[in-house]
Amino acid sequence: MKAAQITEFGDTDVMEVTETDEPEPGEGQVRIEVKAAGINFADIMQRRGHYQGGPEPPYVPGMEVAGIIDDVGEGVNREVGEEVVSLVNGGGYAEYAIADARGLLEVPGELSFEEAAGFPVQWLTAHNCLHEWGGLEEGETVLIHAAAGGVGSAAVQLADEAGAEIIGTASTEEKLSMAEELGLDHPVQYTEEDFVDRVDEITDGEGVDLVLDGIGGETTDRSLDALTSFGRMVSFGAAAGEPGRPNTADLLFGNKKVIGYHLGRALNEKPMKVMGAVPELTQLLGDGTLEVQVGHTFDLEDAAEAHQFIEDRKSSGKVVLKP
């Protein structure tokens, strides 16, 4: 089978599409014929060698796939031919991938495989950060960074569904227009204006109740300035290449809270808390109330190009690979 392999840590040229043996499912596992694989920024951070606890080269990246069960291991009560979507422990950028049968999800409604591949990581992250971790309540104000990205576009829709007032940042007017169509109330083009100043204007100096931050670095630090007293920020990534380092004095005197979220570790330690969002997400995505925004699709052979596309900030919505 074909698979995109990371040969060493580095830029996109360290990714090579090679021929390798099809993986065999073990006890409690299934093999999925991959029809679409989601790309996440965590994949890029792993390729760079900047992801704490990430895999060591050589390895095949990819943590979510949609496709058809091709083979089952011992003790698995699933049928060959079932259409499923699943988180995987690596190996998603390939024609076949191995998944734990306990974590298989049905493809919601009439979603295509490309849309389904954009469901697990980013929609669980968005829901968890807003609700299970962030405690968003109706009528609150939320600041969502990268509002047109995979997690951001999901979070905008979910926050709108929850009755929140939404401020969102993005780099271009085109991305902000897309986010507005999904429910964004207050677009902020951070390349042209200071997002903290805009938050002050929009909230009459009060600040927001909740921030979703997957950027890190200076954005994390400045987002604390955008929080109201007793506000909270959920930190779920470091797309800037370095984590934020909040000043504890700002937390202390502002009665503010920073909450960390990592999907993989949360699944290992609090699976029910994470997966409790699945029934609601499946229903709302299945009936069309919410929509996975697939912005760009690349062939598996162009996986390196897809990574570069995301790193160049050209993407909006979900970026998907098709074997």
DSSP letters along 56-71, please? PSSB---SEEEEEEEE
Q: How confident is the model at residue 302 (pLDDT cuts 50, 70, 90)?
A: very high
Both 253 and 148 in one domain: the answer is yes
Asked whether residue 166 falls in the same domain as residue 108, the answer is no
Q: What global pTM score does this model have?
A: 0.94
243 shares a domain with 129: yes
What value does the mean pLDDT take over residues 125-151? 97
**192 and 316: one domain?**
no
CA distances 105 to 35, 213, 296, 299, Å, are 15, 27, 23, 24
Do 103 and 190 sit in the same domain of this protein?
Answer: no
pLDDT of residue 63: 96
254 and 128 in a common domain: yes
Residues 78 and 129 reside in one and the same domain: no
- Asked if residue 44 belongs to a domain, the reply is yes
Quote the CA–CA distance of 308 and 111 in Å, as a whole number.
Answer: 27
245 shares a domain with 148: yes
What pLDDT score was predicted for residue 270? 95
What's the sign of the alpha-carbon dihedral 205, 210, 212, 215? positive
pLDDT for 275: 94
**Would the pLDDT of 218 be above 90?**
yes
**Per-residue model confidence (pLDDT) at position 1:** 97
Residue 285 in tokens = 């995505």
% pLDDT > 90, the chain: 91
Would residue 88 count as lying in a domain?
A: yes
Residues 152-176 have pLDDT tens digits of: 999 999 999 999 999 999 999 999 9
User: In the predicted model, is pLDDT for residue 244 greater than 90?
Assistant: no
pLDDT of the residue at 243: 85
Provide the token pair at 203.
């909230």
**Predicted confidence band of residue 316 (pLDDT cuts 50, 70, 90):** confident
Find the mean pLDDT for residues 144-159. 96
Average pLDDT, the chain: 95
Give residue 193's domain range: 122-264
Q: How far apart, in Å, are the Cα atoms of 102 and each of 13, 87, 189, 222, 270?
A: 35, 10, 42, 40, 15
b/e 90-122 (16+ beta carbons within 10 angstroms → b): bbbbbbbbbbbbebbbebbeebebbbbbbbbbb
- Phi and psi based region of residue 13 (left: phi greater than 0; alpha: psi -120 to 50; beta: remaining): alpha
Q: What is the pLDDT of residues 34-54, one digit of tens each?
A: 999 999 999 999 999 989 889
Average pLDDT over residues 290-316: 93
Q: CB of 79 within 8 A of CB of 71?
A: no
Q: In the prediction, which pLDDT does 242 show?
A: 85
Band of pLDDT at residue 289, cut at 50, 70 and 90: very high
Residue 283 within any structural domain of the chain: no
Boundary-marking domain end, from 264, 279, 300: 264
More confident residue, 245 or 82: 82
